[in-house]
Each structure stands twice: as structure tokens, then as C-alpha cells.
A and B are shown apart, each in its own frame.
Chain A
Amino acid sequence: MKCLNCGKNFDYEKYYGICPKCGSFNKEETPQEQHQRYHKEYDNGYQHTEQTYTAPPFVRGNMKKGKGGHGSTVFLLISVAIFMIVTCGFTAFGFLYSRGQERKLLQDVAESRMEQEDHAVGEAFTLQGMTLTVEEAWIVDEGQGTNPNAPEGKRLAAVKLRGESDGEWADKNRLSTAYINCGGLYYEQIPSYEIEENRKYGEAYDVPTFESVSLCMDKEAEGCLMFWVDADASDFTLCLEERADQESVFIQAIHTIDIHPEIID
């Protein structure tokens, strides 16, 4: 028979009336043929009224809608599944990977070897491509006796440092924060910004500071590192870290210089 929807010829018996091309269901006889058959079978001469039957219009889109809707649902479900896997799975993976890297780096740092190099005042030594010399050191302030702003039990010491480098910023001629060992305890240097902002140490005593980046742009630099030292300490050890790796994570060496500061009246 011929499909009423698309015109495709197909075997009615084989496909049970369903068009193999468009999927439309076709009855074997048209409504008019069915009407004629009813007349033949049941018309006994009685009067009857003729009513026109109009079949509901065939809507092609309705069938497509069912088939296409299923596809979009599958697509949505797959998208949700991928989203969940990516957000949950990769978040967990990223977190664990980061933690693993942190632990591995800490382990690498802990296992890394470090040299200690002892130097004397006036001796030139190389550190991260710079050549440094501790020239002298002196007590700048005797503490609260002369300066009410000084911390209790502390004196202000200045260590004069002179350095040379190639003056190239890219070579990272940057000094790490210096610290001292005084009486078995370590103390960091007074930051340059505190010296400059407070104007209690640097300008008041006319002591130029040695900045950590002093040798990043200049080939020569000279200045002081300043520390609070114990009032009863006659000496201390200056420590300068050498870090040459990209992230400045690994300490390759610690350069130590024993300092006996002069007391200037």
C-alpha cells in the first residue's frame, strides 16, 4: 500500500500498517472506502443520516518530538555526569595533588644539604653572584638609658656591609632577610621600611641602610643592617642565607660572620 503521509509504497501485511520510512500508521482502507463497506454490509433501506468524518490531521512533528526529546534528555544527563565528575573528581584530585606537592617539597627541603661558611670581618665572600664584605659593626644606641624608644634590655647595633654585583635585576642579586644569633637565640634584622618610617634609627643616627635589593640594579652598594641585640651581649653572629634556586626555597649555604661591635660614644 501507499503511505498516506509520505507516499512510500510498502507491504501492509509485513509492516502492520506502519510506514518503514516515516513511521506513520496507515489503515488498509480510506475512510471513504470504509463508509462504502458499511453501506454494503449494513444498509437495509432504513433512513439514516450521513455524517462527514474528518480524520485528525497528521502531525509529523509530534512523532519527531518524542524521538528527539529522548535524545536531549540523554545529552543533558551526560552533561550533568561530566560536570559532576569534573567538579568533584578533579577538585579532589587537584587538592590531593597540591597537598602531595607541598609535602614532597617540604621533604626535599628537609633532605637538602646545606653548607655553613664562616667568614671574618673585612673578608670578601661571594653569595648568589654578589661579592659581600662586612666592614665594621658598632653599637648605635645603648638602649633605654639613652633612647626611651628602645626595647627593654636591648641595644641597637649596625653592621656595615659593602657589596658588588653585575647590577642585573634578572640575576636575582637579592639578599634574603639577614638575622643574628645572639645568646643562643636568633633575631631578624630591623626591616628597612621600619627604619625609614619610624625615623628613630636610620636618619636619627645617620646610618644608611643596606636594602635587600640594593645590588639588583646597582653594581656597588654600601649600607648597614641593623639589629636589636641583648644589652649584655658583647658579640653576636651575623647570618646570611644563600638561596639560588628559582623560587628561593632551598638554602644552599649560610654565611656566618662573628661580630664584635665597637661602642661609639
Chain B
Amino acid sequence: MGKVIKIAVGVILLGISAFYLLGVYLMITDAREDAAYKLSSSVRAEYLGSEYLGGRMELDGNEEQAEEGYGFYKLKFQLENVSSKVCFSGFDYLISIEGESYEEVKRKLVPSKYCPPDIIPAGAYGATIPILPGKSQMELVYYVEVQEGVDQLTARYYPSWNEDEVIMELLLKE
């Protein structure tokens, strides 16, 4: 490689580096503002307890029947959005419930009030779906059909898109 080419390439690389440094400097000085812009909701869930409902229960006006060898539990959670940004996450799938094996939890039922309406008229979308505003709390109820004899389940959720998964042990009370 010729001397001139070497020097030219070196100067170009140094020039790019200088611009890059300038960009990094601007990124650092604007980091607080960017962080404010990127701030997302952060929901903490606390398990409040369970209630055994037996093999039959009513939900949203419909009677639900558990399979043989299974029973329904009502699980209560307290949700708190510790951030100042509103949480739009669907509360129906916010927390996943599972047992040690696939058979232990047959299904999870969510009251319709936590779910978006099946048909949302134009102009009514955002205002008909439940939210959790910043620095607010709400109660969340799930119903799970659990195999008899199971006394503990596992709940998993993500507080926000950039936080690690939280795992909770749920003790079931008869």
C-alpha cells in the first residue's frame, strides 16, 4: 500500500473517530433526557392469596365446570405501577401461571373486565381497555383450574420490557 493511501486511510479513520466521539459526547449529555423519553411502565405484582372454589364456578355469567380430578382456585394479585408512565399491557396475559408439570394447571380464566372488548367501535379503542396509570395500584384476579393435590404453583411476569423476569411461588389454600 502506498504511503499516501496509508496516510489518507489513517486520516479518514481519525476523522470518523472524532465524529464518533462527538456523537458519544452528545449521547452522554442527552442521556437523562433520552432516559425520560424511554421511560416505560414498571409493574410489580404481589400475590395476595387464593380461594378454593371447588369443581364449579361462575364467571361473567357463564358456569364453568372443572374436569374430573381438577378444581378451581381464585388467585388474587395486587399490581403496582411504580413508574410514572401508564401501563397498557394486557392484564389477561401479564402473569403466566404454571405448575411443576403441564397437567397441573389445566387452564387460566380471566374475568372479561380485564380484557379488551371483543368488538371495539372506532374511536373507542384506548378508552375501553383497562390501564394502570403511573404510581397507581389495582387488584387483579385470575381463576385457575388446578389438579387436585397440587398445593403450589409458579407465577412469572416481566415488570417491563427491559427488566428481568420475576418468578413467584403461589401457595394454594383449600
Contacts and interface: CB of A to CB of B under 8 A. Distances in A.
B13 A197 contact: no
B123 A197 contact: yes
Interface string A218-261: 00000000011000000000010101000101110010000000
A6 interface: no
B39 A102 contact: yes
Contacts of A87: 16-17, 20
Contacts of A82: 13-14, 17
A249 B84 contact: yes
Contact of B7 (A72, A239, A251): A72
A150 B121 contact: yes
Category for how many chain B residues contact A: 35 or more
Contacts of B169: none
B9 A186 contact: no
A75 B84 contact: no
A12 to B, nearest CB: 33
A109 B85 CA distance: 10
A100 to B, nearest CB: 8
Given A72-B6, A112-B84, A186-B130, 4 more contacts: A97-B31, A187-B131, A190-B126, A191-B126
Interface of B: 3, 6-7, 9-11, 13-14, 16-17, 20-21, 24, 27-28, 31-39, 42, 82-84, 86, 113-114, 117-124, 126-136, 138-139, 162
